[in-house]
Every structure is written in structure tokens, then in C-alpha cells.
Amino acid sequence: MSTAPVRLRGKASWLVNQAATVAHRLAMDEFARSGARRYHYGILAAIDENGPSSQATLSRSTGIDRSDVVAVINELADAGHVERAPDPADGRRNLITLTATGVQRLQHLEDQVTATQDLFLAPLEPAEREQLTRLLARLVDHHHG
């Protein structure tokens, strides 16, 4: 980064993009080590937080494209991490539910994400980490809200 022009290094949008690239690489490397993909974590976390969910709901809550959600759910179902069952309120759709194995997998992925966050945020003090996270969440909420 030190070779980047001063004008770029002074722009928050450029810095966020550079930081996102590093964070993405770190996360992909960590997930690959355990045979996971980042979408696995997002889908499992959404089901854990919101309970049984339709594929459309999972797509909206995670920001993952519907066609990708279908592929991820297929992978998670094949691994025994989620189950599909007809929605009692609407037989045309399925509800995706976390299995006991899925809960364990989510905890494993959560541990990986925490380790990756620690690596990514290593140069920051705990209070700075919290402040950065709050500020980024505020920006995201403002532009997506």
C-alpha cells in the first residue's frame, strides 16, 4: 500500500476496498482449509438466528443470489448440515432447518471466522476493533437501509 499515490491512500473508499480484498483472501484461505465456502457460514448462521427458513428468505437475509443459495443448500444437505421439509403454511416451498451436525459445523466455522477476524484486525487495539466495526456497520446500514 505504501506505493499507492497519496491521493488514493487518503480516500476512505479506496482504503475500504483494499481492506476488503485482504479480509476476503484471509477468509477464503481459512474456509478452504476446512472444505467450506463462505456462503456455508452465512446460510448456517442465518438459519441458526432466524429458525427454519425458505430459500428465498435465506437469499434476502444473506444477500446471496437465489441460484447460489440453492447450490449451497444442496451442498449443506448432502453433508447432513441442513434438512429440507415442506412448509406447513405453504406446501409449494420448503423450509430449511439446521441439523445437530449443522450446529456443530456452524460452531467450527464460527471459530474459523473469529480467528480470521483476529488475524485481519491484528494491528488494532480491542477498542479500535469495536469502533471500526461500529463505523463500518453504520455505513452499510445507511447505504442498504
Ordered by start, the domain boundaries in the chain are 37-144
Q: What is the pLDDT of residue 133?
A: 96
Whole-angstrom Cα distance, residue 87 to residue 60?
18
pLDDT reading at 1 higher than 90? no
Alpha helices in 10-65 (DSSP H): 12-33, 38-50, 55-62
pLDDT reading at 42 higher than 70? yes
- The SS3 assignment for 90 reads strand
Q: Where does the pLDDT of residue 91 fall: very low under 50, low under 70, confident under 90, or very high at 90 and above?
A: confident
Q: What is the pLDDT of residue 66?
A: 92
Nearest alpha carbon to residue 98 among 76, 78, 70, 72: 76
User: Under CATH, which architecture does the 37-144 domain have?
Assistant: Orthogonal Bundle (1.10)
pLDDT reading at 68 higher than 70? yes
Work out the average pLDDT over 84-101.
92
Q: What is the pLDDT of residue 106?
A: 97
Q: Where does the pLDDT of residue 90 fall: very low under 50, low under 70, confident under 90, or very high at 90 and above?
A: confident
Residues of the chain with pLDDT > 70, as a percent, come to 98
pTM over the 0.95 mark: no
Whole-angstrom Cα distance, residue 94 to residue 114?
31
